[in-house]
Amino acid sequence: MPEIRQLTVDGRFNGPDGSANGGYVCGSFARLCPAPVAVTLHAPPRLDRPLRAEVGGRRAHLWDGDQLIATAAPTEHRVGHVDPVSWEEAVRASGRYRGRVNHPYPRCFACGPDREPGDGLLLAPGPVPGRAATVACPWVPDEAAGTGEDGRVAAEFVWSALDCPSGWTADLVAAPRVLGWMRAELETSPAPGDRCVVVGRLDTGDDHGFASTSVLYDSRGTALARATTRWYAP
């Protein structure tokens, strides 16, 4: 019999208004599972509402009442590599962030320009010159990124940081998309105050959606975590 756990996403951790940030809920759900998993989102996860997680079988399921919200399953998928970008390059790229104007989800916890320091991650991934379909941004975790018992950034916030930059490898202003699938691999988490860089690269795409790879680096260019994401029309 599966074990029943409860997952409630605080209203602050939204993506689109009224629903959870995709990376945050995927990371939160994955933490409840006994083995590394990929998470598929089937419906927008509502905020401030107890969700029922059934874990322990080969697949785990996240429910909102009778509605299936997400499925988590073991996967042999290995996340690809994206070359690092220096801190200085990432800062310059951030100045070209497409989402500063007409962002489809301006209060997104991870990349919304309407959030304040300490309230959102304030990621602003912009294009990297000379690297096709690649974006980068700096990230210095602050009090907005919760920490675990080891004092490092909790896994669900790392998933959030890997999520949105991968989405901005496409033009989300012209064609809004939402996260539909995510697989993340975490080597270690940064500590609050660490200077980090997130790099994202578009891998494949068509009119129905796209797939991207994102990597979180420390200031020395060491990969801390990486993810593959798939995005679809809302």
CATH number for the domain harbouring residue 68: 3.10.129.10
What's the mean pLDDT in 160-173?
98
Distance CA 5, CA 7 (A): 7
Q: What's the rounded mean pLDDT across residues 81-110?
A: 97
Q: Which domain holds residue 187?
A: 87-232
Please give the backbone phi and psi of residue 25, each rounded to the nearest 5 degrees, phi first.
-70, -35
> Which of 2-6, 90-94, 119-123 shows the lowest per-residue confidence on average (mean pLDDT)?
2-6
pLDDT, tens only, 54-72: 998 789 999 999 999 999 9
Nearest 10 degrees: Cα torsion 97, 103, 106, 108:
-70
Asked if 126 and 195 sit in the same domain, the reply is yes
Domain boundary, last residue among 20, 40, 73: 73
Q: Report the pLDDT value the prediction gives residue 53, as an integer from 0 to 100.
A: 96
Among 29, 28, 69, 21, CA closest to 167: 21
Q: Which percentage of the chain shows pLDDT scores above 70?
A: 100
Average pLDDT of the residues of the chain: 95
User: 195 and 110, same structural domain?
Assistant: yes
